[in-house]
Chains A and B, each alone.
Chain A
Amino acid sequence: MTIKYHVLEETLLAYAAGELDNASSLLVATHLALCPKCRRAAEIGDEIGGALIETVAPATMGSAALDSVMARLEEFALEGSIKPVAATKRGATPVLPEPLRSRVGGDVDVLRWRRLGPGLQQIRLDDKSGGPSVRLLKIAGGRSVPEHGHAGAEMTMVLAGGFHDAGRSFGRGDIEWANADVVHQPVADEGEDCICLTVTDGPLKFFDVIGRLAQPFVGI
């Protein structure tokens, strides 16, 4: 299956520049694992950084810097080239790619979901760095996320199953990007739970009755 909806180019550039907040970076890096096309584009972002570092006017290092670093080389043994891979079930392709899998502490079988409303569960993944909030959402097949708007932008990436929203359908790796002024209602495809990673800049604003009732006590 081919990914249809990718990371926006300016977001990839912000990620390469080191300017993207941690929550959005988690989504972008997880998309890169699934998308060779964006991976290549992100590499070019890194290469732009490399070209800038090569051409910047050099600063003057402190007089003791070189000696001090040379004296410390011994304490840093060279690392091997093989990086250990996080444990997964033998042979199975994990549903959650890295770096998401390490963030949640394992693949989908270890997740501890919290109920949000009918057919809707979540796991919050915010770290202490501030910025937008990031969560996993599980929408039961055929159910919808209550119609909502956002105080800021929202990025939602499918990891399992799929959903459709306003005539477009999203599968594994696809990202739906919604602006602050968009009110939308994603509906999970029939027959399979849909698991998404969602980054929201500002709180969600629900419009229907269930959403409005649920909002005060579910902390979405």
Chain B
Amino acid sequence: MTQRTLSAETAEDATHLMTQIAVHQDRDAFEALFRHYAPRVKAYMLKLGSDGALADELAQETLLMVWRKAAQFDRAKASPSTWIFTIARNLRIDVFRKNNRPELDPNDPALVPDAEEPADEQMDRVQRAKLIRAAMKSLNEEQAEVIRLSFFEDKSHSVIAEELDLPLGTVKSRLRLAFGRIRKELGEDVL
């Protein structure tokens, strides 16, 4: 037993916990991950319209899925918070639409592979997560609002336009500006 207190406060810590779970089925590591992420996933479900009991249940199911799929977590492809967000999002869609979210299969022989990127140009996912959070703080209020409404309020672009009393085209262009800004921070070419 390690004496160090297990925590998921930083992305590095959370990545370490994920590895412990995947390799050793470490229950203490899972408990630390649960304490950090279950209340956040529950907040996400609440914001997207679940009542308290359902949001609690969906948060539990999300974390159980994290345990079950831990071996599929690839630290080169996602930070723990990104990976857990996608599991929570997909679970919610599967429950509410009674249909699985259409997703690509990374092992599909029809998948057109990425152009090879030199290893030293690949940015660590933990590093990227920090950059993205910084980029999101740098968005102006209008841009941050449409991103938040879209991701965390279950609102389609046309509903956002109605609520903000804006033309749909304005909502879309704010989203594109916000997205462009975040991608630029990451050093990505914009489409």
Contact = CB atoms under 8 A, between A and B. Distances in A.
A16 B104 CA distance: 13
Overall SS of chain A's interface: helix
A43 B81 CA distance: 13
A55 B37 CA distance: 11
Interface residues of A, number: 77
B188 interface: yes
Interface of A: 6, 9-10, 12-14, 16-19, 22, 25-26, 28-30, 32-41, 43-62, 65-66, 68-70, 72-73, 76-83, 85-86, 88, 93-99, 101, 103, 127-129, 173
Contact of B60 (A12, A22, A49, A69): A69
Contact of A129 (B98, B109, B150, B156): B98
A33 B104 contact: yes
Contacts of A16: 151
Contacts of B7: none
A84 B63 CA distance: 23
A76 B68 contact: yes
B180 to A, nearest CB: 8
B102 A26 contact: yes
Given A6-B191, A18-B89, A99-B105, 8 more contacts: A9-B175, A13-B147, A19-B155, A50-B84, A58-B43, A82-B107, A85-B107, A85-B109
A103 B104 CA distance: 12
Interface of B: 11, 22, 25, 27, 30-31, 34-35, 37-44, 46-47, 53, 55-56, 59-60, 63-64, 67-72, 78-79, 81-86, 88-90, 92-93, 97-99, 101-115, 128-129, 132-133, 136, 147-148, 150-152, 154-157, 172, 175-176, 179-180, 182-183, 186, 188, 191
Contacts of A45: 179
B81 A99 contact: no
Nearest to A54: B81
B67 A73 contact: yes
Contacts of B108: 33, 85-86, 94, 97-98, 101
A188 B42 CA distance: 49
B141 to A, nearest CB: 16
A62 B45 CA distance: 14
B104 A49 contact: no
Report, nearest first, the 7 A-B pairs whose CB atoms are least far apart.
A50-B82, A58-B39, A97-B110, A98-B105, A49-B85, A50-B81, A59-B42
Contacts of B103: 29, 99
Contacts of B107: 82-83, 85
Contact of B104 (A58, A61, A94, A98): A98
